[in-house]
Structure 1
Amino acid sequence: MGMAACLEIEDLCFRYHDGTEALKGVSLSIQKEEKVAILGPNGAGKSTLLLHLNGIHLPQQGVVRVGGKEINSDNERQVRSKVGLVFQDPDDQVFSPTVWDDVAFGPLNMGLERAEIEKRVADALQSVRMWEFRSRAPHHLSYGQKKRVAIAGVLAMDPEIIVLDEPTAFLDPSGQEDLFEILENLHREGRTIIIATHDVDMAAMWATSIIILKDGQILAQGTTKLLVREDLVKAAGLRFPLVSQVFEEAAAGLGQPLPRTVKEGKKLLFKLTGH
C-alpha cells in the first residue's frame, strides 16, 4: 500500500435546500491503493460524502483535495476523469441505446481520438466480462449486468480512484462474487477503491480501511478491528460480522481477538479443536 494521500477532506460541511444538514465537519485522509469501506446507518451522510469525491457536490464549507488539488468549479470536470463514481442504482447511470454507446459516453466527452475511445471501451467491457453484450440495449440486461456496465463506463475514463455506492445492493450471491472479483482485479492494477455499504461482513472481508459515519460526522477511521469494537458498533447502529458473533464466547475463553472473517474463524476453530 502506498503512503501518499490520494484524497483528503478537511472540515467538510453540506446542507441540502430543505435544511437537512448532511455533513457536519467531516475530515479524513485516504492513501493510494487502499480498499476503503464507509459504513453507517441510513441518513449517516455516506452517499452525500461520495458525491463530493468527484465534484458532483462542491463543498459549501471545507476542502476536498484529489491528488493534492482542491476540487472547485473550475476543475470539477477534470476531477471526474480521476475519480469515477458508480451509483447505487445502475439505471441512474446506464441510459444509452447500446452497451457500447454507454461505455463510450465518458471518453467521447473527454474529446479523445476515435481509436483511443474504441480501445478504452473494449478494455473496460472485457474487464467486467460484458464485451459480448456490447450491442445489447441496456434495458434488456439483468440488474447485475447493468451494474457491470456502469462500472465499465467509469473504467473507460481511466480513473485513479473508483467510488461505489452500495455496490452489492440487490445482487444475488453469484453477482456479488463477480463484483468483488472485478474490484480485486482493479485494485491489483493499482487503483484506490472506495465503497459505501451497510454490509459489515463484506467490509470485514474486503477492506483495508474502515470509515464509520453517523449523523454526518466521522465516529472512527482505522482498520477492520473497528468492526469488533462493541461501543463503536453500537453507537453506529451496526452489528458485529457474523463470524465474530459465532466465535464471541470462544475467543473470550481463549483470550484471542475476535475473528472478523471466515479465514480468521477457521484459524480459531483449529485452536479450539486441534484439527
Structure 2
Amino acid sequence: MKKPVIEFNNYSFKYHSQTVPTLQNINLTIYEGEKVLIVGPSGSGKSTIGHCINGLVPFSYKGEVNGSLQIMGEEAGHLDIFSRSKMVGTVLQDPDGQFIGITVGEDIAFSLENDCMEQGDMVNLVEEAAKMVEMGEYLPTSIHHLSGGQKQRVSLAGVMVDKVEIILFDEPLANLDPATGKYAIELIDRIHKETNKTVVMIEHRLEDVLHCHVDRIIVVDDGRIVADMSPNKLLSSHFLERVNIREPLYVKAVKYAGCTVTEDMKPAHLDSFTVESCKDKLLDWFEAVNPKVLNEKTSPVLELKEISFSYAPGHETIHEVSICINKGEMVSIVGKNGAGKSTLSKLICGFERPRSGSILFYGQDITSDTIMERSLRIGMVMQNPNHMISKHMVYDEIAFGLVIRGVLEDEIKERVEKTLKICGLYPFRNWPISALSFGQKKRVTIASILVLEPEVMILDEPTAGQGLRHYTEIMEFLVELNRQGITIIMITHDMHLMLEYTPRAIVIDGGKKIADESAATILTDLEIISQANLKETSLLVLAKRLGIVEPKAFVSRFIAFDQEVRKQWQ
C-alpha cells in the first residue's frame, strides 16, 4: 500500500485580512507517486491549498490555522520554510517570479550553491536536471531570451535538482500557447512516470490537463472539497456543472444532446470516449440548433499600416504588419509565445514606437501621440495583473484612473460600484489587494480599465486564471460593451474564447501576420495550426468522428448554444 505524503485532517485556514476562513474543514490525503489535479472556481481556495502544501501559508501569507497538515509524515507546523522546500518543489504560474540566476545554468544551480555543494557534483546535477526537461543545450543562455514554455521548463529543472518528493504546479498552462501547453502536460507526465514523484497540479484548463492521465481530480468550492474521484467518474457526474467549471467541450456537447455520460464510456480522453451510442442524438441536436448570426462590417476605427519594430538592432520583432480593425468589432490576436502579439499591443498603446509604418485612429495618424493621449481612446489590460496594480485597496485601484482624470467623487463612486458588480468584485471592494487570488487580481485590473469607458479595449489574456462563471461574466460584459460600440481586441491562447466570442481572428507568427480569417476557418487549417502553435478543438474532432459533413458548422452551433445556456447565469 502506498504511503501518504500529504495529509489534511479537519484543516481550516483564515487569512488575517479576512473575517471568514478561506479553507474550511479540509480532509484530503495524497499518496506517494500519485498525480492529482485540483480544480475550482476563481477564489474557491484551491491556490490556498497549494500555499499550505509548499509553506507559503503561514510563512508568507499570515493567518489562523486549525486542524492538522502533515507533509512526508511530519507535522507541517513543526517544519521551517527551508525544510519544507526540500520536500515540496513549486513551479509558479508566472515563472519570472521565481528566477534568481542570469543564465539557465545559474538558475538551476541556485539551491545547490546555497547548500555549498562541490562544484563538480553541482555541474553534474545541473546537467542531469536540464537534460530531463530538454534544456541541456540552453545552460549558458540568458533567462530573458527564453520563451514562456522554456522558462517553465527551467523552473521545473530548478525544482528537480533539489530531489524533492512532491512537485506542485500552480496553473502551469496559464501563460502558454495551446501547443506549448500540450507539450508541458506531456513533459509533466513523462517526469512523473520516470521519477515516480508525487505531482499536484492546480489548473483551470481541465480538458488540456486531461490530455495525459491523472489519477484523481479534487474539486474545491467555497473553501471546501466537494468531490475527490477519478476523471472518468467525475466527468460522468454533475459536480463540475454545479460549481461552474468548464467540462471538456466534447463531453458538454454529448450532454447537451441529451445523452447520459457514464463512467464506463471513459470520457476523460476523447480518443477512448465511446460516443457511438450517442450519434443519433448528437446529429438530431446539431440539426435543431440555430447557427450564430454574424454582425455586418462597419468603418475602420484602428489601422496599422506596414508597422515594423525592433527591440534591438538586427532583430526585427514586428515585420511590416498591416491590420484594419472596424468599429464595434471583437477580434482575437493569436499565435505562439514570443510571436509578437503583446508587442503589437504596446505599439498600439504607445508604450513602444514603431521603426516604420503608421497607426491611424478613425483615419487620423496617431503614430506620434503620447501614451496619455492614446489612453483617452484606447484602454489596455496587461496579462500580468501585478504589472498594473499601484494601490493597496481594491476600490482605490479601480477608482484611480477616474481620480487622476478629475472626475467628480459622486460619479466615481457610481461608476466604480457598477463595475465592481459586473466583474464580480463587489464583495471584495474594501479588501486589500494582497489578499486576492491571481484570478481576482486579474479582474481588478480589467475593472480599472472598464471603468474608464475607452472606445477601444485591448485585453492581453483577459480570462487567464478565471473559473467558468467569472470567465462568462467578464466576457458577457465585454460583449455588452461591444454592442454599445466599443471595439474589443483580445490577445489570447484560449481557443474556446476565440471561437466563442470573436468571429474574426488574426494570427501572428515570427512578427508577421500569417492569417486574418474567421476563427472557425483558422482552427480547421492544419498548416496554420501547426505554424502558430494553435490546437484543433475537440469539438471538430468529435464532429469528424460522428461523420458530420460540415464539422465547422457543428463547432459554430455548439458555441452559439453553449453561450445561450450560460447567459442564463447573468
Q: Is the 8 A contact 1:37 1:194 kept in 2?
A: yes
Q: Which has the higher contact order (CA 8 A, sep 6+)?
A: 1
1:231 aligned residue? 527
Give, in whole Å, the separation in 1 of the partners of 2:518 and 2:315: 30
Q: 1:264 to 1:179 in 2, by over 3 A?
A: closer
User: What is the CA deviation profile of residues 208-227 of structure 1, one whole-angstrom value per residue up to 9, with x for unaligned ones?
Assistant: 21101100000011212222
Residues 41-190 of structure 1 aligned to structure 2 (within 5 Å): 41-190=336-485
Structure 1: state its 5+ residue gaps.
267-275
Q: 1:74 to 1:202 in 2, by over 3 A?
A: closer
Q: Is the 8 A contact 2:544 2:551 kept in 1?
A: no
* Cα deviation, residue 202, structure 1: 2.1
SS of residue in 1 equivalent to 2:513? strand
Q: Is the 8 A contact 1:98 1:136 kept in 2?
A: yes
The amino acid across from 1:239 in the alignment is K
* Cα deviation, residue 241, structure 1: 1.6
Q: 1:116 to 1:67 in 2, by over 3 A?
A: farther
Q: 1:48 to 1:74 in 2, by over 3 A?
A: closer
Give, in whole Å, the separation in 2 of the partners of 1:128 and 1:205: 19
The amino acid across from 1:138 in the alignment is I
User: What is the CA deviation profile of residues 107-163 of structure 1, one whole-angstrom value per residue up to 9, with x for unaligned ones?
Assistant: 222233333333332332233232332221111112222111111110122101111
Q: 1:246 to 1:45 in 2, by over 3 A?
A: same
Give, in whole Å, the separation in 1 of the partners of 2:403 and 2:353: 24
Give, in whole Å, the separation in 2 of the partners of 1:27 and 1:265: 30
1:3 aligns with 2:298: yes
Give, in whole Å, the separation in 1 of the partners of 2:316 and 2:363: 27
Q: Is the 8 A contact 1:201 1:242 kept in 2?
A: no
SS of residue in 2 equivalent to 1:228? coil
The amino acid across from 1:53 in the alignment is I
1:197 aligned residue? 492
Q: Is the 8 A contact 2:301 2:362 kept in 1?
A: yes
Bigger shift: residues 176-185 or 237-246? 176-185
User: What is the CA deviation profile of residues 176-217 of structure 1, one whole-angstrom value per residue up to 9, with x for unaligned ones?
Assistant: 233323322322332211111122222112212110110000
The amino acid across from 1:228 in the alignment is T
Give, in whole Å, the separation in 2 of the partners of 1:74 and 1:42: 29
* Cα deviation, residue 11, structure 1: 0.7
* Cα deviation, residue 166, structure 1: 1.4
SS of residue in 2 equivalent to 1:260? helix
Q: 1:260 to 1:78 in 2, by over 3 A?
A: same
Give, in whole Å, the separation in 1 of the partners of 2:371 and 2:496: 34
User: What is the CA deviation profile of residues 7-38 of structure 1, one whole-angstrom value per residue up to 9, with x for unaligned ones?
Assistant: 10001111113754211111010111111111
Structure 2: state its 5+ residue gaps.
1-294, 562-570
1:256 aligns with 2:550: yes
Bigger shift: residues 86-95 or 27-36? 86-95
Q: Is the 8 A contact 1:44 1:214 kept in 2?
A: yes
Bigger shift: residues 184-193 or 42-51? 184-193
Q: 1:105 to 1:216 in 2, by over 3 A?
A: same
Aligned length: 264
1:246 aligned residue? 542
Identical-pair percentage? 31
Give, in whole Å, the separation in 1 of the partners of 2:538 and 2:532: 17
Give, in whole Å, the separation in 2 of the partners of 1:25 and 1:124: 38
Q: Is the 8 A contact 1:204 1:241 kept in 2?
A: no
Give, in whole Å, the separation in 1 of the partners of 2:431 and 2:412: 19
Larger Rg: 2
* Cα deviation, residue 55, structure 1: 1.5
* Cα deviation, residue 164, structure 1: 0.8
Q: Is the 8 A contact 2:424 2:470 kept in 1?
A: no
Give, in whole Å, the separation in 2 of the partners of 1:88 and 1:264: 25
TM-score, normalising length: structure 2 = 0.44
* Cα deviation, residue 101, structure 1: 1.2
Q: 1:128 to 1:265 in 2, by over 3 A?
A: closer
